């Protein structure tokens, strides 16, 4: 199963700074939206995941900015699972505006229980 998802994002005014450019921290919110929608596309609800006592928390995030995105831009976010085993998922992200590369990123997400202790990923999320 190919584990990637595309999400279209329209930049809102509240996501921009005084120059109408997306504030760098808002890209982290976009990446989280991408992860949640990727899970949904795989038939899993993050809400149900949490209801079962598990959480996915960011343990590492690396972001590289190429061009600014601005208010009212239409962006495309591709989120992909690079690996998923043990208690970790590694994702890659790519945000474009048309053919123009805006941002790339990689993250490591850890699975933890409601007690904060590391837990193995459910079999349905393990790369196989």
How many C-beta neighbours within 10 Å does residue 61 have? 15
Pairing between strand 74-85 and 88-97? antiparallel
Secondary structure class of 76 (helix, strand, coil): strand
Judge whether 17 counts as a catalytic residue.
yes
Position 2 scores a pLDDT of 55
Distance between CA atoms of 87 and 93, rounded to whole angstroms?
20
- % of the chain exceeding 90 in pLDDT: 82
Determine the number of helices (DSSP H) and then strands (DSSP E) in the chain.
Answer: 2, 5
Write the CB contacts of 124 (distance below 8 Å, at least 6 apart in sequence). 42, 44
- Compute the average pLDDT of residues 101-126: 92
Distance between CA atoms of 106 and 73, rounded to whole angstroms?
23
Q: Are 87 and 118 in contact (CB under 8 A)?
A: yes
- Compute the average pLDDT of residues 72-95: 96
Position 126 scores a pLDDT of 77
Q: For residue range 1-57, list pLDDT tens digits in order.
A: 358 999 999 999 999 999 999 999 999 999 999 999 999 998 888 898 899 899 999
**pTM of the predicted protein model:** 0.92
Position 127 scores a pLDDT of 66
Write down all domains in the chain, each with its CATH number in brackets: 4-125 (3.10.129.10)
In the set 17, 51, 72, 115, the catalytic residue is 17
| DSSP state for residue 70 in the 8-state scheme | B
């Amino acid at each position: 199963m190919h584990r990637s998802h595309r999400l279209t994002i329209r930049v809102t005014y509240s996501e921009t700074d005084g120059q109408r450019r997306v504030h760098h921290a808002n890209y982290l919110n976009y990446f989280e939206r991408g992860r949640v929608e990727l899970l949904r596309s795989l038939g899993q609800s993050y809400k149900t995941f949490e209801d079962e006592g598990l959480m996915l928390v960011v343990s590492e995030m690396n972001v590289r900015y190429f061009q600014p995105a601005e208010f009212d831009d239409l962006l495309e976010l591709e989120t992909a699972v690079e690996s998923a085993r043990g208690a970790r998922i590694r994702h890659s992200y790519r945000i474009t505006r048309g053919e123009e590369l805006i941002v790339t990123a990689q993250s490591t997400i850890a699975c933890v229980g409601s007690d904060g202790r590391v837990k193995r990923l459910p079999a349905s999320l393990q790369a196989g």
